[in-house]
Amino acid sequence: MKERTATIASRVGLHARPAAIFVEAAAELPVDVTISMQGEPAEDALDASSILSLMGLGAAHGDVVVLRAEGDGADEALETLVQILETDHDA
């Protein structure tokens, strides 16, 4: 399983517009991706393509999250999602 961390750049965290952009991208990927707050057990990770899961995560500006994916294309998928999370979509 591949794993990457990302720091939330959007000033409002993963809410509204940033969450919608992230979920749309995650849903289009060829692999399943999970997301969790850094320090949480991997088994508590949530579906990254679910807007409800993402909003429930409660990730704020500056928080670090962990993305995990497995299978062909996992590295590329994680890189795409890290770039989204590390961009301030509220600017």
89 belongs to the catalytic site: no
Would strands 64-69 and 2-7 be described as parallel, antiparallel, or unpaired? Answer: antiparallel
Q: Which residues pair with 47 in a beta bridge?
A: 34
Residue of 57, 82, 58, 59 whose CA lies nearest to 69: 82
**Residue 26 DSSP class:** H
Residue of 86, 80, 33 whose CA lies nearest to 59: 86
Q: Which residue among the candidates 2, 7, 12, 15 is catalytic per the annotation?
A: 15
**Positions marked active-site:** 15
